[in-house]
Amino acid sequence: FGYKQAKKEEIPEIEKLSPLQVINQSGISIFKVPFLLRRIRAEFQKGINNVRLFSGIQEILLELKQQGYQLGIITSNSQKNVEFVLQKYDLLIFDFIISASTLFGKDKVIKKYLKVENIQPEEIVYIGDEVRDISASKKAKVKVIAVTWGFNSREVLSDYQPDALVDRPQELMEVINNF
């Protein structure tokens, strides 16, 4: 696409930005974002065998499922990529996977899911690693837990005021059980 690639030393500053800020600062035309997203998915697929889960997350997901929680994934990645990783780690335990090609419309995806499944917003908890996850959850009126081991930094996630902010997967169980 001809855009400059971020240098390793620039990553900590980029993690402090929302996706829209990243797009604006990079000079990427908003009209090219869908094409760029497709390219990112393709690049991800090339390196999919190198994907590693964050330490402790597999055990937490299995424990949540064992406790009877329904688990779902809403992602901008492809369903094929997600299922490949889940299968690799014996985590084909999710009740649904929704691949949302929209970069900024996760709130609509959440609302549609709630409506189709006849679920009230207060019955679910959304776990995300980006500010857009927090924003989408708030728009959909669902509780949100932000995790600090993903894209955005703890500082930036905190600024968006999630219902809870966790630094380790092991903290998820306590937070979820206290909601």
Mean pLDDT, residues 15-22 taken together:
65
- Residue-number span of the structural domain to which 56 is assigned: 50-178
Whether residue 100 lies inside any domain: the answer is yes
Whether residue 171 lies inside any domain: the answer is yes
Q: Which two tokens stand for residue 134?
A: 């927090």
Let me know if 90 is exposed, middle or buried by CB neighbors in 10 A (0-12, 13-18, 19+): exposed
Element holding 112 (H helix, E strand): helix 106-117
What's the N-to-C CA distance of the chain in angstroms? Answer: 44
Whether residue 72 lies inside any domain: the answer is yes
pTM (predicted TM-score): 0.76
Q: Which two tokens stand for residue 109?
A: 């995806």
pLDDT of 28 over the 80 cut: no
User: Rounded to 5 degrees, what angle do the CA atoms 50, 32, 11 make?
Assistant: 45
Whether residue 39 lies inside any domain: the answer is no
pLDDT of 40 over the 70 cut: no
Whether residue 170 lies inside any domain: the answer is yes
Mean pLDDT, residues 4-29 taken together:
68
pLDDT of 2 over the 60 cut: no
Number of domains making up the chain: 1
Whether residue 147 lies inside any domain: the answer is yes
Mean pLDDT, residues 146-166 taken together:
93
Mean pLDDT, residues 108-120 taken together:
94
Phi–psi pair at 123, nearest 5 degrees: -90, -5
pLDDT of 107 over the 80 cut: yes
At 58-99, the pLDDT tens digits run 999 999 999 999 999 998 888 888 999 999 999 999 999 998
